[in-house]
Every structure is written in C-alpha cells, then in structure tokens.
C-alpha cells in the first residue's frame, strides 16, 4: 500500500467540465427544474451549477446484503442532508458543497497498526472490489431513507493495515478546511468532525465504506469522496469525507457525544425503546414520495438489522450504552 501512486489510475483525470452544464445553459435548453436528461439526475437538487455526478462506480448488487424496499431517488438522497460542515439546514449541503473538491484525496492511517502512513484514495480503492448494497438508513431526528450505496466492507480495508492486539477501537476524522467547508467557521460543533466504532463493529460485514450512490461518485453533500455507512446505527455514526483512520486502545471522542452526551451516545444503535431526550424514537418519517400524507412507520430495533448485529451487544445494557 505504500507504493507510489500510478498516475494512470487517477480518477481526477476524468474531466468533470466535460459533463458540466451550467444553469444558464440549462435554462437556454429549457430543462431547468426538469429531470436531468437520461441520467435521471435532477441537476437542481444537486445544487445549481454543480456538475452532475460521474458514472464511475457501477458495481454489481450484493443481494444478500440488500433490503428489497424501493430506494429513494438520487434527488432525495442528494437534497435532504446532514453535513454541518456545509450548514445546519437539510438543504444547505446541496447548495454549499458545490465547489468542494474531493480530488485529489488521501487518508492518513495511524495508531495501533503495523501498516501506517498516508494513502491516496486510489491506493485504498485499487484492491477492493466494489459492490452495491441497498441499505436502510435512519437519522436520530426520526427520518429514514433507503439508499443504494456503492462501496466495500470497512473490515477488508482494516485487515490491510494489520491492527495490533492493542487496537480496540477505530476512530475517523473528517477534513478540516474552513475555506472549503464554510460551516467549520461556525462553532456549532468542535471541528473537525470525529466518530468512532468498537473494533468488532468496524469489522462487521455490514459496515461499509461508500464511494458512490446509484453507481455514481458520491455527491459532495453525501460525503465525497469516501464516507462510512453503519446501517444499524443512527446516521451520525456515518462520518463523511474521511481523511484519517486511527486505531486506538481507548474509546475515542465523538463529535455528537461531545456536543450533547445525554442526547447522542457513543453506541447510537437504532433503538425504538430508548427515546431521544427531546423526542420519541418509536416511529420514523420516511423521506420521499408523497410525504404530505405519508404515515409514520414503526422504527425497528437496530434499524431492521437485529438478526445480523444484536449479538455484538449481548450483555450490554443498551439503555445505559445508547
Ligand atoms: N462530517 C460529517 N459527517 C456526517 C454529518 C456531519 O454533519 N458531518 N452528519 C451525520 C448525520 S447526523 C447524518 S443523518 C448522516 C447523513 O448522511 P446523508 O446526508 O448522506 O444522508 O451523515 C452523518 N455524517
Ligand atoms: Mo442524523
């Protein structure tokens, strides 16, 4: 993994401008506000003047790790986001992440591991076979979506770094760059955004590093170029735009527990029986469709993934470790 990067494989070589149609041109073409051509991407949902995402990550669906519910549209997935680095409203990331540059990208690996250093995204991706997985996603704010991610199991990457026996947790850090991430100029969170998993959670085959959605590169607002997806946990565990992975002996600090420890625990397993201090977690609002008349649906323990993950927490009091 420490070999020099082969410049021939740089995805940054794909000129986004070739695919770029600015808003004025769209207006001239009379298609502003309409679905974006054959790709089905709504250009405006992605943020006016944002280049449409590139079809770089077409990958076969892993049916064994996919739910059968209908996925949300790319428009929904890319226009209703939480990414405080780009603002605190759900519509802010799509607008404010337009100019964000997710290439070139590298990730620093440090802590309790034999293989450490700085690795380009290409180094990281080269040996990994990508697959599509349709996952149920659930935010602590009691809304949900179904998303066809493209990525690979985090555990496969972790093995390449050969964590030592002292590594009990894996910590993740988002890019700190207030020039590109205007939200980092406001002290709403203690930047940079950090998250962590216990090693067995990180190694679980459901835990994904995602680089795409619907076969396209991740829209910036969804955490380009690489983000974590942990489908049995509240969305805030799914840290975006990762620049550091650290193997630690002690439970790492996490941004949301740092901001409000009584509201956002380290474990954050989706649990309809444990209410958020300010609202119920028993039901959820599914984003999309005709949400005007949409009924709230019951929230499932571990977001429906209990048969796969409940055993990770045997013997733990999940009311205490929420
Ligand atoms: N760096 C970073 N990662 C983040 C967040 C954030 O504000 N900053 N928000 C989290 C929350 S609360 C949710 S619900 C999910 C939303 O992911 P999505 O916008 O791709 O649906 O991202 C998570 N990852
Ligand atoms: Mo969230």
Ligand 1 close to Cβ of residue 236 (< 6 A): yes
Nearest to 126 by CA among 11, 246, 16, 238: 11
Ligand 1 close to Cβ of residue 174 (< 6 A): yes
State the 10-residue block means of pLDDT for the chain, 322 residues long: 35 31 36 39 62 90 98 97 98 97 98 98 98 98 98 98 98 98 97 98 98 98 98 98 99 97 97 96 91 84 98 95 92
Compute how many other C-beta atoms are within 10 angstroms of the C-beta atom of residue 77: 25
Atom 21 (ligand 1): residue with closest C-alpha?
A: 81
Compute the CA torsion angle 207, 220, 181, 209 (nearest 10 deg): 10
pLDDT at residue 11, rounded to an integer:
34
Ligand nearest to the CA of 236: 1
Q: Is position 321 within any domain?
A: no
Residue 157 carries which DSSP code?
A: H
Coil vs helix vs strand at 218: coil
Between the CA of 17 and the centroid of ligand 1 the distance, in Å, is 27
Q: Is position 5 within any domain?
A: no
Between the CA of 236 and the centroid of ligand 2 the distance, in Å, is 5
Q: Is position 177 within any domain?
A: yes
Beta bridge partners of 196: 171
Ligand 1 close to Cβ of residue 235 (< 6 A): yes
pLDDT at residue 53, rounded to an integer:
85
pLDDT at residue 8, rounded to an integer:
31
Gap between the Cα atoms of 171 and 155, Å rounded: 14
Ligand nearest to the CA of 244: 1
Q: Which residues contact 148 (CB under 8 A, 6 or more apart)?
A: 61, 66, 71, 132, 133, 134, 213, 214
Q: Is position 322 within any domain?
A: no
Please state the atom number of ligand 1 nearest to the C-alpha of residue 137: 21
Nearest to 135 by CA among 206, 44, 221: 206
CATH number of 183's domain: 3.90.420.10
Between the CA of 138 and the centroid of ligand 2 the distance, in Å, is 7
Q: Which domain holds residue 55?
A: 11-313
pLDDT at residue 33, rounded to an integer:
36
Please state the atom number of ligand 1 nearest to the C-alpha of residue 189: 7
Ligand 1 close to Cβ of residue 87 (< 6 A): no
Q: Is position 25 within any domain?
A: yes
Gap between the Cα atoms of 222 and 211, Å rounded: 10
Question: What is the domain count for the chain?
Answer: 1
Asked if residue 226 lies in contact with residue 211, where contact means CB atoms within 8 angstroms, the answer is: yes
pLDDT at residue 221, rounded to an integer:
98
Gap between the Cα atoms of 97 and 50, Å rounded: 9
Please state the atom number of ligand 1 nearest to the C-alpha of residue 228: 24
pLDDT at residue 206, rounded to an integer:
98
Q: Is position 319 within any domain?
A: no
Residue 85 carries which DSSP code?
A: G
- Residue 166 is encoded by which pair of tokens? 């002292």
Q: Is position 119 within any domain?
A: yes
For ligand 1, pick from 78, 87, 220, 223 the residue to mutate: most ligand atoms within 8 Å of CB: 223
- Specify the pTM: 0.87
Q: Is position 1 within any domain?
A: no
Between the CA of 20 and the centroid of ligand 2 the distance, in Å, is 31
pLDDT at residue 45, rounded to an integer:
64
Strand 117-120, strand 106-111: pairing: antiparallel
């Amino acid at each position: 993994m420490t070999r020099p990067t082969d410049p021939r494989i740089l995805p940054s070589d794909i000129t986004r401008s070739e695919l770029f149609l600015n808003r004025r041109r769209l207006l001239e073409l009379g298609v502003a506000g309409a679905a974006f051509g054959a790709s089905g991407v709504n250009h405006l949902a992605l943020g006016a003047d944002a280049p449409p995402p590139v079809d770089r990550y077409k990958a076969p669906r892993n049916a064994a790790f996919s739910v059968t519910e209908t996925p949300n549209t790319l428009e929904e997935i890319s226009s209703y986001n939480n990414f405080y680095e780009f603002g605190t409203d759900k519509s802010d990331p799509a607008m404010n992440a337009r100019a964000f540059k997710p290439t070139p990208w590298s990730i620093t690996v440090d802590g309790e591991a034999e293989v450490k250093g700085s690795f380009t995204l290409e180094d990281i991706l080269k040996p990994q076979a990508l697959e599509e997985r349709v996952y149920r996603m659930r935010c602590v704010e009691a809304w949900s979506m179904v998303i066809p991610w493209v990525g690979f199991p985090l555990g496969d990457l972790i093995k390449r770094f050969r964590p030592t026996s002292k590594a009990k947790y894996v910590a993740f850090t988002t890019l700190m760059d207030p020039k590109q991430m205007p939200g980092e100029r406001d002290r709403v969170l203690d930047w940079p955004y950090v998250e962590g998993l216990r090693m067995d959670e990180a190694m679980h085959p459901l835990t994904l590093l995602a680089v795409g959605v619907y076969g396209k590169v991740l829209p910036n607002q969804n955490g380009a170029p690489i983000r974590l997806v942990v489908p049995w946990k509240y969305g805030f565990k799914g840290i975006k735009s990762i620049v550091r992975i650290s193997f630690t002996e002690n439970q790492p600090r996490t941004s949301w527990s740092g901001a409000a420890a009584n509201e956002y625990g380290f474990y954050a397993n989706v649990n309809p029986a444990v209410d958020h201090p300010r609202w119920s977690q028993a039901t959820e609002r599914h984003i999309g469709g005709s949400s005007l008349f949409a009924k709230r649906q019951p929230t499932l323990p571990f977001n429906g993934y209990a048969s796969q993950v409940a055993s990770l927490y045997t013997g733990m009091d999940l009311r205490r470790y929420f």
